[in-house]
Amino acid sequence: MQDQDARLDLSRRQRLGMVEAVWGEHKTVQQIVGVLQRFRSVDELGLVTRVQPEKAEAVRLQLPEVVVHPYARCLTLGLLPASPAGPASVAVLSGGSSDRTVVEETALALRCHGVGVQLVMDVGVAGLHRLLEQLPKLESARVLIACAGMEGALPTVLAGLAAQPVIGVPISVGYGVSLGGRAALEGMLSSCAPGLLTVNIDNGYGAAMAALRILRC
């Protein structure tokens, strides 16, 4: 794949109100540099996801203005919108601290669109009191995104307690039969909590864009 093979969707913001995100894991350094330069040439914010640390540093050496977001495994080029004043529109919750990478990707994707984000970490159902203690803080959010591995129970419990739309993100964390997030995915898809929306395994960006669509309805 050559740089010119990447057909960027530069009208996505005008058409859908979304910044295009480019998957970086299977692209070379030069391909990522070329993509970001193309975004810059049309004065568009560049967002590249799933970039390994060594690759991120190599890109930054060629484009010093690139910002590396190590926890999110993402790169951005261009100014992010300022966070709005007042309570955050979206709360992103994690079952455990091992979910942080996907949580940070989710939050960054929303911040690229000027959406205020509140992070609520380590409130998995193994210690249900931790989630219950946070419920009052979630009341002002319009959308809740719950990231969980293992059996993926957090979104189901949350959707049974909170009135807002809940988006579940299965995480590829867990022992043996967790199967790299498959158990969490299937648990969320078969949830008894009505109206729970579930995205693919580790798909923080997809969850963020689902939340953005809900906010803009």
Beta-carbon contacts of 40 under 8 Å, excluding residues fewer than 6 positions away, are 46, 77, 78
Could you tell me which residues come within 8 angstroms of residue 84 by beta carbon, excluding any fewer than 6 positions away? Answer: 114, 115, 116
Q: Which of 199, 136, 190 is nearest to 166 (CA)?
A: 199
Decide the pairing of beta strands 67-69 and 74-77. Answer: antiparallel
User: From the CB of residue 125, how many other CB atoms can be counted at a distance below 10 Å?
Assistant: 17
Between CA 6 and CA 8 the distance in angstroms is: 6
Structure tokens at 35: 């993509």
Q: What is the CATH number of domain 90-215?
A: 3.40.50.1970
Q: Domain spanning 3-77: which CATH class is it, in words?
A: alpha beta
pLDDT per residue of the chain (217 residues) written in tens, 0 to 9: 444 567 787 778 888 888 889 999 999 999 999 999 999 999 999 999 999 999 999 999 999 999 999 999 999 999 999 989 999 999 999 998 999 999 999 999 999 999 999 999 999 998 999 999 999 999 999 999 999 999 999 999 999 999 999 999 999 998 888 889 999 999 999 999 999 999 999 999 999 999 999 999 8
pLDDT computed for residue 12 by the predictor: 84
> 3-class SS at 74?
strand
Backbone phi, then psi, for 134, in 5-degree steps?
-90, -10
What residues does each domain of the chain span?
A: 3-77, 90-215
Please list the alpha-helical segments (H only) found in the chain: 12-16, 29-41, 53-62, 100-111, 128-138, 154-161, 182-189, 204-215
